């Protein structure tokens, strides 16, 4: 009888731990409302909340304003001016006043660039390239965020699946402990087997706790990407999805062609090359003159030359219209040591450097695509074999349970069967996750967020 009381007391520790975990889970569910998000919903929420996207949108708007400024440099510049001046001692000449004591002048002036040797047009092109770059950065920010959310989302799904595997393994160890206890109570087993099985349960509990913590860490990573504020902290976020491989059929040449069009680094280099071309052209044109036409029209208040009195009404106001041309040319640009020539030379070096970098990036992308395709094949083979390993390990564990219950194998053999299933399950999940990660790496190399 003492023997039975002993084994029940030993098993109460595990039951107490499960009871505490259950109570804690129930209390947490009472305190927080659960919100479920699919991958598409998480992506939509992340795009809506992203401060990075909002910053890029503002940069694009600013670049658009720069284009308007550049275009305005070719328009007629019109200005209105007015002035008032007071002379305390009016000058006289032969007894006549030569200036009004209180003079008012109102004028309108206009200036229109006539010929700039392409400098205005090039300035507009530079501003438009800046706008193109801002648009590319906005699209890349969006694509990168989507890929980051996908990685974090499936990182959470992996952590959740690993937790399920660890909980199943703990359940198997608890079942083995129950079998050992029943065999001991029936006089068919030794006490050492009961103690070993119970120790196995206790030793595996930290693995379950660690797996549960990984789930919590993973959901925090997702919430950070979604930029959920304090008000969302009152809710429990649960991601809904399955850890499944996203199988696709690719050819290297097809992927390289897509990458040449969509890869952000390549597009950035191309935009940089266009910008450098315009800067090179502009640097050369700085030595050329700028021709502009101008017109000024002004009216000036009158005065009485004999008395010096101001006349602010009537025909005493005088007007003046001036038309002309201005030619501006930096003569220093004619000398080989001038800053204009140095800028032109520098722009040539910058352009050559960008062409070299573009060629290097192209080679790197092609190599990256080839390596990722090999990784996908490797992980796909691991998934195929891993699925069979899990199936065989599960059957072997079921057979081992029956054999152990009938005393045909030892407790150590049963532990090995449990461990084999655990390793096979974790390896299978890891292969699926690594396959999807390699797929996302391929998307990054190509420059898309889905295919």
Q: Considering only 141-145, 230-234, 253-257, 383-387, which range has the smallest mean pLDDT?
A: 230-234
DSSP code at position 1: -
Element (H, E) at 96: strand 96-97
Most confident of 3-17, 404-418, 421-435: 421-435
**What confidence score (pLDDT) does residue 365 get?**
93
Q: Which of helix, strand or coil describes residue 58?
A: helix
Contact between 237 and 223 (Cβ < 8 Å): yes
- Are residues 218 and 152 in contact, defined by beta-carbon separation less than 8 angstroms? yes
* Placement of tokens 């974790």 in the chain: 426
- Pairwise CA distance, residues 191 & 176, whole Å: 14
* pLDDT over 60 at 325, yes or no: yes
Return the closest-CA partner of residue 366 out of 277, 290, 255: 255
Mean pLDDT of 116-135: 92
CB 354 within 8 A of CB 417: no
User: Which candidate, 198, 146, 290, places its Cα nearest to that of 7?
Assistant: 198
For the cut 80, the answer to whether the pLDDT of residue 22 exceeds it is: no
Residue 77 CB-density burial (10 A; 0-12 exposed, 13-18 middle, 19+ buried): middle
Cα-based distances in Å from 64 to 58, 119, 122 = 10, 19, 16
Question: What are the pLDDT digits (tens) for 238-291?
Answer: 899 999 998 988 889 999 999 999 999 999 999 999 998 888 888 888 778 889
Residue 159 near residue 215, CB atoms below 8 Å = yes
Looking at the predicted structure, is the pLDDT value of residue 9 above 80? no
- What gap in Å lies between CA 443 and CA 450, rounded to an integer? 7
Closest CA to 298 of 320, 322, 324: 320
Helix 252-262 to helix 411-446 angle, to the nearest 10 degrees?
A: 50
For residue 227, is it left (φ>0), alpha (ψ between -120 and 50) or beta? left
- Cα 7 to Cα 184: distance, rounded to the nearest angstrom: 9
pLDDT at 136: 96
- Phi, then psi, of 344 in degrees rounded to 5: -60, -40
At 357-399, the pLDDT tens digits run 889 999 999 999 999 999 999 999 999 999 999 999 999 999 9
Q: pLDDT digit string (tens) for 94-103?
A: 888 888 888 8
The structure tokens listed for 66 are 């720069």
Q: Which two tokens stand for residue 131?
A: 């706008």
- Looking at domain 32-70+118-287+335-446, its CATH superfamily turns out to be Outer membrane efflux proteins (OEP) (1.20.1600.10)
- Residue of higher predicted confidence among 410 and 163: 163
Q: Which contiguous run of DSSP H or E holds residue 327?
A: strand 318-328
24-51 pLDDT, tens digit per residue, is 444 444 455 778 899 999 999 999 999 9
The strand pair at 235-239 and 302-303 is best described as unpaired
Task: Map residue 237 onto helix, strand or coil.
Answer: strand
What is the torsion angle, in degrees rounded to the nearest 10, for the CA atoms of residue 176, residue 179, residue 183 and residue 185?
110
Highest mean pLDDT (candidates 227-231, 350-354, 378-382): 378-382
> Predicted confidence band at 4 (pLDDT cuts at 50, 70, 90)?
very low
Q: Is 86 in a helix, a strand, or coil?
A: strand
Q: How many CB atoms lie within 10 A of CB 223?
A: 17
Q: How far is CA 287 from CA 71, 293, 350, in A?
A: 22, 20, 20
| Residue of 106, 109, 3 lying closest to 324 (CA atoms) | 109
163-174 pLDDT per residue, tens: 999 999 999 999
Q: What is the pLDDT of residue 20?
A: 43
- Ramachandran sector of residue 90 (left: φ over 0; alpha: ψ -120 to 50; beta: rest): beta
Tell me the CB-side half-sphere exposure of residue 402, using CA atoms within 13 A.
5
pLDDT at 16 over 80: no
Whole-number pLDDT of residue 105: 92
- Mean pLDDT of all residues belonging to the chain: 86
Q: Are 36 and 240 in contact (CB under 8 A)?
A: yes
Kindly report whether the global pTM for this prediction surpasses the value 0.85: no
Greatest CA separation found in the chain? 143
The span from the CA of 383 to the CA of 421, in Å, is 15
> Under 8 Å CB-to-CB from 244, ≥6 apart: which residues?
432
User: Which pLDDT score is estimated for 230?
Assistant: 54
């Amino acid at each position: 009888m003492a023997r039975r009381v002993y084994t029940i007391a030993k098993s109460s520790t595990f039951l107490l731990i499960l009871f505490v975990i259950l109570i804690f889970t129930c209390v947490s569910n009472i305190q927080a409302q659960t919100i479920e998000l699919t991958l598409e919903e998480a992506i939509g929420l992340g795009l809506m909340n992203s401060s990075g996207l909002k910053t890029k949108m503002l940069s694009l708007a600013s670049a658009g304003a720069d284009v308007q400024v550049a275009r305005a440099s070719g328009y007629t510049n019109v200005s209105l001016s007015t002035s008032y001046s007071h002379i305390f001692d009016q000058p006289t000449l032969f007894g006549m006043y030569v200036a009004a004591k209180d003079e008012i002048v109102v004028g309108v002036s206009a200036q229109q660039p006539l010929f700039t040797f392409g400098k205005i047009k090039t300035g507009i092109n530079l501003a438009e390239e800046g706008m193109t770059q801002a648009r590319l950065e906005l699209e890349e920010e969006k694509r990168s965020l989507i890929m980051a959310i996908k990685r974090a989302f499936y990182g959470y799904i992996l952590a959740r699946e690993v937790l399920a595997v660890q909980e199943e393994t703990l359940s198997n160890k608890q079942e083995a402990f129950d079998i050992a206890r029943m065999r001991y109570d029936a006089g068919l087993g030794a006490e050492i087997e009961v103690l070993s099985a119970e120790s196995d349960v206790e030793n595996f509990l930290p693995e379950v706790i660690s797996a549960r913590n990984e789930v919590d860490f993973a959901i925090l990573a997702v919430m950070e990407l979604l930029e959920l504020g304090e008000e969302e902290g009152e809710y429990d976020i649960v991601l809904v999805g399955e850890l499944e491989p996203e199988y696709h059929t690719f050819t290297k040449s097809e992927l390289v062609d897509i990458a040449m069009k969509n890869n952000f680094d390549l597009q950035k280099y191309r935009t940089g090359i266009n910008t450098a071309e315009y800067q090179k052209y502009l640097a050369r044109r700085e030595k050329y003159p700028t021709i502009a036409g101008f017109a000024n029209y002004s009216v000036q208040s009158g005065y009485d030359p004999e008395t010096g009195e101001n006349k602010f009404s009537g025909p005493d106001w005088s007007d003046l219209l001036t038309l002309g041309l201005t030619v501006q040319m930096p003569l220093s640009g004619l000398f080989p040591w001038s800053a204009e020539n140095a800028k032109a030379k520098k722009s040539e070096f910058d352009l050559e450097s960008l062409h070299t970098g573009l060629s290097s990036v192209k080679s790197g992308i092609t190599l990256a695509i080839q390596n990722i395709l090999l990784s996908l094949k490797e992980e796909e083979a691991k998934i195929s074999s891993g699925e069979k390993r899990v199936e065989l390990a599960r059957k072997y564990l079921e057979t081992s349970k029956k054999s152990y219950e009938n005393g045909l194998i030892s407790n150590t053999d049963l532990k090995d069967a449990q461990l084999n299933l655990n390793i096979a399950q974790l390896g299978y999940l890891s292969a699926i996750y690594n396959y999807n990660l390699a797929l996302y790496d391929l998307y990054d190399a190509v420059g898309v967020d889905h295919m």
